Amino acid sequence: MTKVSITVNGQETGSDVEPRLLLAHYLRDVVGLKATNIGCDTTSCGACTVLLDGESVKSCTLLAVQADSQSVTTLEGLSADGEHLHPVAAAFRAEHGLQCGFCTPGMVMATVSLLQENPKPTEREVREALEGNLCRCTGYHNIVRSVLAASGQDPDEVQGLNGHAGMAPAGGVETAPGFSTGSDA
């Protein structure tokens, strides 16, 4: 067993853990925070995305001992009072950027990280930034709208979305790898 001390959502946590315990399991099973979902254990889906010292990481491939003496923020930690949604989560709700909700915590956390680095991303930058987060339900259109709305932009006015300015090159709609356009085109 190894002693770890990790600040989670502003609260100091500490526990003796197996050296092989993944951070995702530490957050869910030791700390009791269930918003960090475990989907693949291979970094493929992004459902376990959290912020580690402000940086977006996939907690299913990071050991809890690697996060020792660091700060982790989960979806639960984004709400200052536990009652009001964080602006990014509110944008996902307003723009219908979720369906089953399984990927949503990881999408929201990746979006928070993106907007810290790039406060006014383009549609393409949003799609590229979220490339490592998979959603099996939405087709990504409303997720992208949610991110753009969270950035303070009007999703209907951002270049490239909904066929506005910046039309796709001949041959089809331009998207980042791994993203569907939500259309049959």
Per-residue pLDDT of the chain (185 residues; tens, 9 = 90+): 999 999 999 999 999 999 999 999 999 999 999 999 999 878 899 999 999 999 999 999 999 999 999 999 999 999 878 789 999 999 999 999 999 999 999 999 999 999 999 999 999 999 999 999 999 998 899 999 999 999 999 999 986 655 443 333 334 444 444 444 444 44
Q: How far apart are CA 14 and CA 68, in angstroms?
A: 9
Domain ranges (residues) in the chain? 2-78, 87-163
Distance of CA 43 to the CA centre of its chain: 13
Same fold, 2-78 and 87-163: no
Q: How far apart are CA 177 and CA 171, in angstroms?
A: 16
CB 29 within 8 A of CB 39: no
Q: How far apart are CA 85 and CA 77, in angstroms?
A: 10
| Distance set, CA 27 to CA 35, 73, 166, 170 (Å) | 9, 10, 42, 47
Domain 2-78: CATH superfamily is Beta-grasp domain (3.10.20.30)
- CATH number of this structure's domain 87-163: 1.10.150.120
